Amino acid sequence: MTRNEAFDLLKKYNRDPFHIQHAITVEAVMKWFAEDQGYADEAEHWGLVGLLHDIDFELYPDQHCIKAPELLRDGGVSEDIIRSVVSHGYGITVDVKPEHQMEKVLFACDELTGLIWAAALMRPSKSTKDMELKSLRKKYKSKGFAAGCSREVIAQGAEMLGWELDELLQKTLNAMQACEDEINAQTAAEA
């Protein structure tokens, strides 16, 4: 499956610009992590999983990760991508455990990218680029801030990866900083 086919499939089930932006963000961050984690030759694959991971969320929020296999299979997506997508609902709606490094990264970063964007929007720059770990850590610890981004899931993701929480925060922040221009450009092109 090509990236364009995947994107068309995503748009078949997602209209909300916030959801499109989230998909583009997680795609870019996943590709960054593929390089970072020594899977550069699989970067496109990691990106596809990121792009499609929430495909069922807009129309079927109550069946998140349960409805996804049907939508993805209908769209001709391969079973390995479907498995990886579903695994980010581990312990929430499904019992498919993240096994591959890519699946663990997806689990750990999904909610965290949302938190980082929300923190960026609070800044005069509206950007991640001048954000430091210390300030991100403060937002993470502030329970009322971006309360929809589950700290429990983020912490569980770090544990799966065998990383300290700070390591996960720093790496994901680095990823977002590196990808921000590209994410903004792509999101604007879709708006």
Footprint of Fe ion on this chain (CB under 5 A)?
A: 54, 110
Cβ proximity to Fe ion, 61 vs 125, nearer residue: 61
| 3-state class (DSSP) for residue 91 | coil
Cβ proximity to Fe ion, 109 vs 131, nearer residue: 109
Q: How far apart are CA 76 and CA 93, in angstroms?
A: 23
- Among 118, 111, 113, 87, smallest CA distance to 101 is for 87
Residues 6+ apart with CB under 8 A from 25: 113, 117, 176, 179, 183
- Among 71, 157, 73, smallest CA distance to 113 is for 157
Cβ proximity to Fe ion, 97 vs 138, nearer residue: 97
| Least Å from the CB of residue 110 to Fe ion | 4
Cβ proximity to Fe ion, 130 vs 152, nearer residue: 152
Token duo for residue 29: 């961050």
* Strand-pair partners of 94: 90
Cβ proximity to Fe ion, 153 vs 173, nearer residue: 153
| Least Å from the CB of residue 158 to Fe ion | 17
Token duo for residue 15: 């209209």
| Least Å from the CB of residue 148 to Fe ion | 11
| Least Å from the CB of residue 124 to Fe ion | 27
- DSSP secondary structure code for residue 123 in this structure: S
| Least Å from the CB of residue 34 to Fe ion | 17
